[in-house]
Amino acid sequence: MEKIECIENQFFEKIVVTLPELSRLLNVSIRTIQRLTRGWNTIRSYDHNGRYFSLERLAEYNSYGIWAYNDIHFSKFGNLKNTLVAIINNSTQGMDASQIRDVLGVDTRSFRYQYKDVSALKREKLGGNYVYFSSDPGKFTEQLSRRKINMEAVSSPPLKGIIAVNVLVAAIKYPGFTAEELSKHLHKLSIKVKPETIQDFFKFYGIEKKTTDLR
């Protein structure tokens, strides 16, 4: 019981821990740690080789179902593959590599080729870039149609004037912010601009915006 309480205290104190850390703390094997925490609602990071753990109740997921803590990313959908499928299936017009990277917070080059043939996804080349869609026929048709309409619409800058300036200033001031985080920050300044519009704005000008984790 004492060891279980110690493990719980570590989770609440550090929020995110590794099994080796708990093993050294209690001077027991990793297998023992796994046995003691069996049945707990723990979550495992989908990046950093899945070495970080936390408790489900501590997670603060964003609208995409992603929780980032100190450059460590967790998903309510589980592992990276399931998360990738979920965010693409939930998107309105599919997602290209830069959009996936912005949502997941990891460089898609580290896994994109590995998952290019996932049966739940469909890949199409549009405008010189690969775009990932749902493999469900109805969903795919809907996403593709919206994507093409959006591509035709973005023949002029998605943002202009003072709003464009404010987005650029915020992006420079907070280089680690995702499009969603920039949107929330600007909203606090009474500047309402959607994350999708910010993404389109950067894409229009070919700006490579850094994310919180490029491992």
**For 172-179, what is the mean pLDDT?**
88
Number of helices and strands in the chain (H, E) = 9, 7
Say how far apart CA 186 and CA 175 lie, in whole Å.
14
Q: Between the CA of residue 44 and those of 21, 82, 95, 108, 174, what are the distances in Å?
A: 15, 13, 24, 19, 27
Query: What global pTM score does this model have?
Result: 0.66
Q: Looking at domain 79-153, does it have CATH number 1.10.10.10?
A: yes
Q: pLDDT of 1-47, one tens digit each?
A: 677 788 888 889 899 999 998 888 888 888 888 888 888 889 999 99
Q: Which pLDDT band holds residue 156 (cuts at 50, 70, 90)?
A: low
Say how far apart CA 132 and CA 140 lie, in whole Å.
9
Using only the alpha carbons of the chain, give its radius of gyration: 20
Q: Would 2-58 and 79-153 be classified into the same CATH topology?
A: yes
Q: What is the pLDDT of residue 154?
A: 58
H/E element holding 43?
A: strand 42-44
H/E element holding 68?
A: strand 66-69
Class of 2-58 per CATH? Answer: mainly alpha
Strand partners for 213: none
Kindly list the domain boundaries of the chain, sorted by start residue: 2-58, 79-153, 161-204
Q: pLDDT of 72-106, one tens digit each?
A: 999 999 999 999 999 999 999 999 988 999 999 98
Strand partners for 131: 96, 124
**For 38-57, what is the mean pLDDT?**
90
Q: Which pLDDT band holds residue 142 (cuts at 50, 70, 90)?
A: very high
Strand partners for 125: 130
